[in-house]
Amino acid sequence: MLYIIHFKHIHLNFRFAEFDSVLSIYNLSPNDVYTKPPQANLRPTLMVNFPNDEVATKVTSRCVLIHRILRFWARGKTSKLCASSLATPSSFHDSLQSLAKAAPSFSINFTTWGTRSVSLEMQNAYRADFTDVLPLNLVKVDIKSPSLPLHIIYEGQLDSTTNPNPNPNPNPTSTSTSTSTSTTPPREIFLGLEVSLGGNFEKFNLKKVR
């Protein structure tokens, strides 16, 4: 089953060492789980294969450099291209439609990376692209504890200095009420269903040990 790992933007050179080490605990080979894309240490996302949600959750929960893992739903250069792949008839499309119809509540969170801000208007436009192709119009929106927690990841471009994120926050999530629009076009847009959060970095922070 295909998943999207969303890394924290800290200790970039150690993320794969940690991930591979945890995979070995569960007798999983990195070669079977993922293929490194170009500039893998700088990008916030990684496509991976796990047998099921249980294994994905076990691995992710032990990795403090992983922010979350999403069950893959779609990807594309724009939100419309990303959403259009959800509308293509297939067994995967049918399973998503059934899952969305059966959900009593949902949310679509929006995370940006590599850009200073994406306006609320633009965020809502992105959400609308996906709700237009998924049967969510009769499903209640629940921000706190949705049964269908969807997540959009807006991955911006790397600049000429390969600086991936002008925002110093290690886990940049767009919550601003600013109406300014992003000046960085997306490198890629991802949509997924949140399966699990990563490990708690503060729990293992030696500076916090007393």
List, in order, residues 6 or more apart from 187 with CB less than 8 Å away. 77, 114, 155, 156, 157, 158
**Residue pLDDT, tens place only, 21-36:** 999 999 999 999 999 9
Q: Specify the CATH number for the domain of residue 116.
A: 3.30.2130.30
**Residue pLDDT, tens place only, 118-163:** 888 989 999 999 988 888 876 889 888 899 999 999 987 765 444 5
Domains: count for the chain = 1
Question: What local confidence, expressed as pLDDT, does residue 99 receive?
Answer: 84
pTM of the predicted protein model:
0.79
Least confident of 59-68, 80-89, 159-168, 194-203: 159-168
What residues make up the domain containing 134? 2-208
